[in-house]
Structure formats: C-alpha cells, structure tokens
Structure 1
Amino acid sequence: MGANPRGCLRACSLAVRSCLRSFIDEAGVPPAFIVGLSGGADSLALALTVIDVASRAGIEVVTLTVDHGLRTGSAHEARRVADLAASLGARALVETVRVDGRGGPEASARDARLAALRFLALREGAPVLLGHTMDDQAETVLLRLARGSGPSSLRAIAPIRRDEDGVTWLRPLLGLRRADTAGACAQAALTPVEDPTNAIDGPWRAADGSALRRSAVRHSVIPALASALGVDPVPALARTAALCAADDDALSEWASGLLAVSCEASPAAGEGSLALVVSEVSGAPRAVRARALREVASRAGIRLLSGVHVDALDDLIVAWRGQGPIPLPGGRATRVGRGTQARILFEARSPEPTRDGG
C-alpha cells in the first residue's frame, strides 16, 4: 500500500489505524489481530489494511475464511481467498463448518461463521475484526425498524463489542461506504469474490419463496427510499443508530443506578432469587423501569423476555390489581407484600432432571 496511500485506500487505512490504536491503548498489544475474510470487497479491503497497519507495528494478522459448504466449488473458493491473504502477509486459515439450517440459511450460516471466529479468538487470545460498513448499518436499522424496535435494538451494529466469552469484536469500517471498500480493492488490484447469495435473485430464499430480507432491503428498499426522498438515506440511518446507541447507554446507566438501590437478594424464596422494591422504581420512567425489569430477571437466571412479558411485569409495579404470578421463560415473577414493603420477586425455575437422574 505504501506509507501514504490515497483515495479509498487511504480512507480504509485511516479507519483501521484509528481502531487498532484505540484497542491497543485500552487493552494493550494483542498477540494477533484476527480478520474474518469472506473474500468480498468489504472483508478484503479490511484484511489488506489490517495487514499493512499491523505489520508496521510487528503484530501478526490471522485471517479466517469459512467454507459453509453450501455452494459447489466453495472449498476451492475459500482456499483461493486464503492463498491471497497469505500472499499479503497473513497467517491464513480456512475452516469448514456445518450449517444446520435453523433460523434459515442466512442466519444459520452467520451463526456457524461467528462460532468459528469466536473459537479462534479464544484460542489465540486475540480480537476479531469484521468488515461491516455504513451500508450494513443502514440495512440493519431498517430491518429492525420493520420488526418494531426500541433504542437497544436500533443501535444496530456496534463498532466495538465484548461478548460474554470475553471476545472483542471490532468493526473499523462502519464509517465508510461499500464504494470505499470496492475502490480500495480496485486501487490495490485485488479482485473480490462475488457471493451470489447477496443478490436479490440469489439461490437462498426466505420461507415464503421471496428474496432474503437483507437482500431485499439492500437492492429494493434503500434504492426506493433514495428515489422517493431525493437523498441517500444511508448516512441518516447510520446516524439514527448512533443516536439510539447514546440514548440507550444513558437509559441503561439510569436503570443501573436505580437497581443499585432497589434490587435485593431474597434468600427466603430460594437461592438466586431476587426482589425489586416497588416504591423505589414506581416513579421512574417506563423506559427505565423496563430496563431494570429485564436486568433483574437476567440476574435471577430468567432470560429472553418478550415485550409481552415486560408489559406484564410493569403492571405488577404500576397497575397492581391483585394479579397472580407472571410466568416467564425459565421462571416466574410475583408481587409480594404491601405498601413500602411491596416487592417484585423473581424466581428461576430449577432445571428438569434428566432421565438418568443427572
């Protein structure tokens, strides 16, 4: 690339350099950086610039190309992509995964790919970089809007995230467009892989036979919005994600402060049971109460609450009429006591014993 690239290569390089420098300043120098490399323009531009920036700092780059085994010739294609990464200076790996089809082919393939990357990250003790762009961010916002989502969901793709396994996921290119990554590949004389599953008429279809939802948003919805509004909607949708992220962080911080004075252990109801003091949370805004309720349930071992569950739980606080226990996934919640002694008690259900008694 050279010490001072121009144009799209420069934009990608600056974004990657800023991301890696921030990570190193906060977490220290990692043993390596892992790049998820499909061979498409986004991941190829990412791999190229990460290899260039990291090699100058003496840090190894490991690329992982996942072969989902869903297309004829996919193994050869994955090997070709890995060979290209190796020629650029990476330790290039190929992993063949099994896609079980649960949740649809797109979601199943994504889950298998992320699982392979997570396993490698834990083995190497290294962060993972992914090539999502502003266009991906805009598509995600629209898909979540269509489902009816609040700020926690509309914050969409996070530029940096640390998951429950301790793996850090970095997305340096969220401020750039697909045109930037395609331009960077062209400047570097690299030919990206064209994945037919991303096409509107690709081989993977939704359950009703129509195009996959993301492909439909990419090829139909966003162009239609641009035509109807007379402006490119992608930057505004990405800005929506950033604004929602800031709002969600503020509301979550408020809820955490509320829980510090309102959540208490309830050993009399069983180990791990928690109680929420009604008088402490009843005056908080609905958005803050909802976050507090979800967090207490999670701490008690109850997860995956739907909006219906949260509404029923909130009624125990602000619309109490003597209703009984609220059944929840993996447990229940009950209002107990009166006046200032009123509590919402969260109890996780004990797991069912297996047939062999385990």
Structure 2
Amino acid sequence: MTLPTDRRTREVGRTVSRVVVDHLGQGFGQPLVVAVSGGADSSALLCLLADTQSRHGWRIRAAHVDHAIQSSLVRARFREAARKLATAVEVPLDISEVDARAEAERSQGGLEAAARRVRYDALARVAQERGASAVAVAHTLDDQAETVLMHILRGSGLDGLSGMAPLRDMADGLRLVRPMLDVTRAETEAVCRAYAWTPVEDPSNLDQDHTRNRVRMSLLPLMREFNPNVAERLAGLAGSVAADRDLLEMVGGLALSQLCDEHGTIARRSFLSLPGQLQVRVIRAFCRERGVTLSAERTGAALQVIQHGHGVVELPEGGRLSVAGGTIALDPGCPPAET
C-alpha cells in the first residue's frame, strides 16, 4: 500500500496513535482489534493504526462484522473490501456474520439498535478469542456531533449530551476505544486518498428513514448556515458536559459512601436532602456497586418510588430496589446461568 507523505495525514496518524496510548497505554505487542466495515472512516482508522504500530506498540488485527441486513451484493462488496484492505496493510482479519433482524425481533426494538448490539457482541467475541484486551472503532467528530444532536432531539440529560466516550468498558477486562473523535469525516476521506485506497460507499447512509441520516443530511447542513463549525462546537460541548458529568459521578460516589449504613442501605430522609442531580448519581452508583446498571427509565422510576416513600422497582436479572420504613435497599438478584 502507498505510504502517504503529506503532512496532514501524518499528523492525523500521530493524533490517532497518541489517543490509543493515552487511553490504553503502550501495547508492547499485545493484540488490538480494529473494527473495519470497508467504509471511509474504518478504513482510515485501520490504515493509520497499522502504519503507526511502532508508535503505539499494539499488534493490529482487523475484524469485519456482517449484519445480514443489506443485499447479498452489498454485503459481498463490504467483505471483499475488508479482505483487500487487511491484506494491503498486512494485518490478519476475522469476519463474523450476525443476524441483526433476528435480534430486533427478539428484543422487539429497532433494527439500528439491534445491529449495534450484535456488532459489539461479535467484536467482543473476536477480541476474547484472539486474546485482545481492547477494540478500536472509527467514530469521528462528525459522528459525535450527530449523536449529541440526536440526544438533544430526544430530550436527553447530561449522559446523552456527553456523547460517545473515548473509552468505555465492553465486557470483563475488555475495553472499547474511539481514537478518531477529534478527526472529521472529511479528514478520514483524505486519509483514504493519501493511502490510495477507495472505500466502499454504504447505500444505507442515504436512507432517510434512519434518524442519524436525516440529522446528517438535513439538520446539520441547515445549522452550518448559522455556524460553519457547528460540528466542532457540538463535539466540544460533548467534551465539556462529559467533564461535568464525571465530576458529578465522583461526588455521587463520595456521597454514597457517607449515606450507606453498615447494612448496605440508605436512609430515605438523608437521600432526599441531596440536590436532584446528585440524587440521580447516588442512586445509580448505589445500584452499580451491586452490579446493576440503571437505565434512564428505571432511574426515574426509582426516584419516584423514593419520593413516594414506599414501593418496589423491578431491575434487570431479577433485582429489586425497594423503599420501606424510611430505608432504601437493593436486592441485585442473580446473574443468568452460564450456558
């Protein structure tokens, strides 16, 4: 593959490599799975991380997930692009096929959300099978701006306005890193040109039945008439809000340590003396410490029950948050049996 010599591409490569090291540390030859669809963003990420292995120290391997959504012709085109690119940058490639439609039917949810779940599940399996401790995905600054706008449209709070985190946990001992949240989509396309690589165009990106596509194709262009740098401003907003959210999380953890008694319960009166946003962080931390992650809906239900003074909120895996006798208690239930 042609190695780029232009300064901007090399700068983007150094930026991406530095983000990986900042969040994951030096790899020292450990495997890092890079998700590659064959599109411009993931192709650019794979090219840059494969090209800068001497900088970040991670041994790059690619993973392609076929969601079985699009036509067989389109799916074959993406698979072949992933194979050719992995060969060109001299990294091994794993290909997984999943059934996003079946997951959508099982969960009775949207296809986009189902595809995201099965994709991350597949990437986690590949990483675990290959002994990798992390997976890298190619979300860009533009993706971050779109995500923030979508959360605003849905009426999100701090968590939604924080957008996508540059680093998060996927499974036990496995992390997800997003090294390109400061890189624009235009820059990923320029990186592909610099490497003389022609990415595959995804026809589904033109389907305005998808909210994200409408945001990208209709809403953001209109907002750029008011501020040409609106994507950068929205991504910056996500970073600022994330910092504030993290501070609240820390304060919530400290408050929880003071509120919890020796029985692992919380006095309702003391809890209600906290400011509203701190109540949210404390009750989430209370559940998280016991292995239960509260959705926004269940967080609201828990706060309502606590305000009312008695009642029960059913939690995932058979858990129960109960309020009675002036006390807030949690029975986390049992994890599902391994099969």
Answer whether contact 1:130 1:171 (CA < 8 A) is retained: yes
Q: Deviations over 1:160-197 (max 9, x none)?
A: 11234221111111001000000111111100010111
Unpaired segments of 5 or more residues in structure 2? none
After superposition, the Cα gap between the structure-2 partners of 1:312 and 1:260, relative to the gap in structure 1 and judged at 3 Å, is same
Deviation for aligned residue 1:84: 2.1
Q: 1:166 aligns with which of 170, 173, 178?
A: 173
Once structures 1 and 2 are overlaid, which stretch shifts more, 100-109 or 112-121?
A: 100-109
1:205 maps to what in 2? none
Q: Does 1:312 align with 2:297?
A: no
Answer whether contact 2:35 2:64 (CA < 8 A) is retained: yes
* Counterpart code for 1:199: L
Answer whether contact 1:129 1:169 (CA < 8 A) is retained: yes
1:252 maps to what in 2? 249
Which has more radius of gyration?
1
Give the Cα separation in 2 of the matches to 1:299 and 1:59: 32
Once structures 1 and 2 are overlaid, which stretch shifts more, 36-45 or 148-157?
A: 148-157
Q: Deviations over 1:10-30 (max 9, x none)?
A: 2320222202332453x7535
Deviation for aligned residue 1:37: 0.3
Deviation for aligned residue 1:104: 2.4
Answer whether contact 2:168 2:176 (CA < 8 A) is retained: yes
Answer whether contact 1:131 1:171 (CA < 8 A) is retained: yes
Q: 1:325 aligns with which of 299, 308, 311?
A: 311
Q: CA RMSD in A?
A: 2.7
Q: Does 1:292 align with 2:282?
A: yes
Q: Deviations over 1:262-287 (max 9, x none)?
A: 12354xxxxxxx41123543432211
TM-score (norm 1): 0.82
Q: Deviations over 1:196-233 (max 9, x none)?
A: 111145xxxxxxxxx10111111111111112x24331
Unpaired segments of 5 or more residues in structure 1? 202-210, 267-273, 317-322, 337-341, 353-358
Q: Does 1:261 align with 2:258?
A: yes
Pairing of 1:1-358 with structure 2 (within 5 A): 5-23=5-23, 25=25, 29=28, 31-54=30-53, 59-70=58-69, 71-73=71-73, 74-99=75-100, 100-102=102-104, 103-126=109-132, 127-201=134-208, 211-227=209-225, 229-264=226-261, 266=263, 274-300=264-290, 303-305=293-295, 306=297, 307-316=299-308, 323-329=309-315, 330-336=319-325, 342-348=326-332
* Counterpart code for 2:137: L
TM-score (norm 2): 0.86
Deviation for aligned residue 1:9: 1.5
* Counterpart code for 2:280: A
After superposition, the Cα gap between the structure-2 partners of 1:212 and 1:347, relative to the gap in structure 1 and judged at 3 Å, is same
> Percent identity, aligned pairs only?
29
Deviation for aligned residue 1:298: 4.1
The alignment covers a number of residue pairs equal to: 324
After superposition, the Cα gap between the structure-2 partners of 1:296 and 1:82, relative to the gap in structure 1 and judged at 3 Å, is same
Answer whether contact 1:294 1:310 (CA < 8 A) is retained: no
